Amino acid sequence: MRKPLIDIKTFKQRRSKLGEKAKGCAIIIASHPEFIRNSDVHHYYRPDSYLFYLTGFEEPESVLVFRPGCNPETVLFVREKNLERETWDGFRFGPDLAQREFGFDKCYPISEFEKVTTDLLENIDKVYYRLNSNHEFDERFFAMLEKARLKKGRSGRGYPPIFDPHEVLSDLRLFKTEDELPYIKKACSISAQAHIEAMKFVKPGVSERQLWGVILNSMMQQGAAREAYPAIVASGANATTLHYVFNDQECKSGDLLLVDAGAEYKYYAGDITRVYPVSGKFTRPQSIIYETVLKIQKQILAMIRPGIPFKSLQDKTIELSVQALLDLGFLKGKPNEIIEQKSYQKYYPHGVSHFLGMDVHDVGYYTVDNESRKIEKGMLFTVEPGLYISLGDTSVPSEFRGIGVRIEDDIFVTDIGIEVLTLEAPKEINELESIVGKKGG
């Protein structure tokens, strides 16, 4: 029999915190549907992050109904125990085992959702449920609401108001707790070691897909469940495509390789980008762009501390990138006009940071009351400046064309500053040149 992946006390504590924010309400979280990959083959299933965050339960066709308040109750609807289906698809908990192993107040078969939840929503002020995430389940949700309305007879009351659960859940996940940190650090360490293995393996003639395989192999051997996102393995000018997905070209002598890859460990994501030369040595133009991006990243890292606006990281990155592009001669004009006209986006088109956690682009509001959110202790996010020079950009010297550099690390905010969780992955030029291509050395 399978066991919960994480101690169930963790999930009870999370529900208790949520209950303090949503008294008198009901929170309904439905699992994602399973999707067909092709013919009768499904994509690998991964449960909804909110559902796992509050329950630790991983099976599809599951729904959480959480009723905080004077008589808090956690109810989970799951697939029924079915020994015949288990012969084909693997172990199922079923309602009885799920209730016992995960500490829910009650568990029911998913087939009873409408019937049971109609009673659970009696005297509820509002419902938190995310619409348009699972269209098939939306129909069941509204059917249940209609039954609940009819049950009230001629009271004149309609549906309870429906709110997005992000309102009460996103801040819980935004601020990482002490019990989450070991999993986050492990995800970052696994990711870093996978990058190192790719660095050692690369050489001219190796394909991007081979390197992707090296990364996946390293992650799995270290205990990761899966990639946190499909890796970007982009050699040469492919690195100037931000979300390059093909990963099928040959790595050639003289090219740089950009690898953006992260592991998922116990539902927490690592997210690292490193860039290094396929042949083991940076050319002068490559080193100029690389050192420019690395310098910008170090300056951004140095400014991060609790209390500064999150937006200031992007503002400073743009300011530094514009000055660097002027110094390189790639842009001309006054910095403030370049920033106002956004002409820098030709070379730096993305943001410098995003929240990280159970999702690689994790939940959390970047603005509060129409102002940039202040950085606080417990936040986890990336810092990833970059410069990308298109192969067809005739406005720059030819030796710089086709160079794409992004350097990304994962940052945890402490009382007084930050802890960089991805330092195991080398990023100084001398470190990279000493390890690239040294497989078995």
d(CA 118, CA 109): 15
- Which contiguous run of DSSP H or E holds residue 109? strand 106-109
Active-site residue identified among 32, 350, 373, 401: 350
Question: 218-277, pLDDT tens digit by residue?
Answer: 999 999 999 999 999 999 999 999 999 999 999 999 999 999 999 999 999 999 999 999
Token pair 């500053």 is at which residue? 417
The whole-number pLDDT of residue 278 equals 98
The highest-level CATH class for domain 181-435 is alpha beta
Active-site residue identified among 227, 271, 409, 433: 271
Residues 6+ apart with CB under 8 A from 296: 317, 320, 321, 324, 385
Active-site residue identified among 361, 376, 428, 431: 361
Active-site residue flag, 42 = no
Question: 146-188, pLDDT tens digit by residue?
Answer: 998 888 766 666 788 999 999 999 999 999 999 999 999 999 9
Phi-psi region of 223 (alpha: psi -120 to 50; beta: other; left: phi over 0): left
Active-site residue identified among 384, 409, 410, 433: 384
Active-site residue identified among 208, 359, 408, 410: 408
Amino acid found at 426: P
| Residue 311 CB neighbours (<10 A) | 16
Asked if pLDDT for residue 35 goes beyond 70, the answer is: yes
Question: Would the CATH topology of 8-173 be identical to that of 181-435?
Answer: no
Active-site residue flag, 408 = yes
Under CATH, domain 8-173 is a member of which superfamily?
Answer: Creatinase/prolidase N-terminal domain (3.40.350.10)
Active-site residue flag, 340 = no
Active-site residue identified among 92, 347, 354, 409: 354
Burial class (CB in 10 A: 0-12, 13-18, 19+), 214: buried
The whole-number pLDDT of residue 149 equals 86
- Is pTM beyond 0.75 here? yes
d(CA 340, CA 240): 24
Show me where the domains of the chain are located.
Answer: 8-173, 181-435
Asked if pLDDT for residue 441 goes beyond 50, the answer is: no
> What is the radius of gyration, based on Cα positions, of the chain?
25
Active-site residue flag, 267 = no
Active-site residue flag, 260 = yes
d(CA 404, CA 346): 12
Active-site residue flag, 108 = no
The whole-number pLDDT of residue 338 equals 98
The whole-number pLDDT of residue 17 equals 93
Mean pLDDT of the region 317-331: 98
When comparing pLDDT for 153 and 331, which is higher? Answer: 331
Active-site residue flag, 354 = yes
Active-site residue flag, 305 = no
Active-site residue identified among 128, 264, 388, 409: 388
The whole-number pLDDT of residue 155 equals 61
Active-site residue identified among 264, 362, 406, 410: 406
| Distance set, CA 251 to CA 198, 201, 202, 230, 278 (Å) | 12, 11, 8, 19, 7
Question: 96-150, pLDDT tens digit by residue?
Answer: 999 999 999 999 999 999 999 999 998 888 999 999 999 999 999 999 999 988 8
The percentage of the chain sitting over the pLDDT mark of 90, rounded to a whole number, equals 92
For residue 143 the two structure tokens come to 């059917």
